[in-house]
Amino acid sequence: MRRRLLAQERPRLPTLLDAVARFCRPKGVACPSRASVYALLRRSNGHRYRVGDLPGAVQAALYNLSPDSRLPGHQVAFYCFHFGDLAAISFASGLPWLDLHQARRTRGWRPRSRGLLEAACRARGI
C-alpha cells in the first residue's frame, strides 16, 4: 500500500482498497476499512528531499536550511508556495500527490499561498 501511496498521481480509493483486499484475503488478514486508509494518508511518511538536490529556486525558498538537511515533501511544498518564486511554485505544484495532500493539512497558510496550493491540487485532481 505504501508503494501505491507514494506514486506521483493519486490512486482512486476503490482501486486501492481492492488491491489491498486482494493482498489480504489469501493471507487470512482482515482488510483495513476506508477510515483506516484515510487515517494512514494523514500520518504516512511521504517523500523526503535533500535540500542540496533540489533546484536552485527551491533552495532559495528554503533559505534557512543547510544543503544537507532532509525535509518531508509537505514542508517543501509549504516553503515553496510561501517563500518561493514562480519556478519554486511550479516545482511544488508537480510534487507527488501525497506531499500536496499532506501540505493542505499543514497549519499556518497565508490566504494567497493557500489559494495557489488549492489551484494546483484542483488541477491535478487531488
pTM for the model: 0.78
Mean pLDDT, rounded, of the chain:
87
% of residues, the chain, pLDDT over 70? 98
> For 59-102, how does the pLDDT look when each residue is reduced to its tens digit (9 = 90+)?
999 988 899 999 999 999 999 999 989 999 999 999 998 899 88
Query: Cα separation of 25 and 16, whole Å?
Result: 14
pLDDT at position 125 is 86
Calculated CA dihedral for residues 85, 87, 89, 94, nearest 10 degrees: -170
1 pLDDT tier (thresholds 50, 70, 90): low
CA distance linking residue 117 with residue 114, whole number of Å = 5
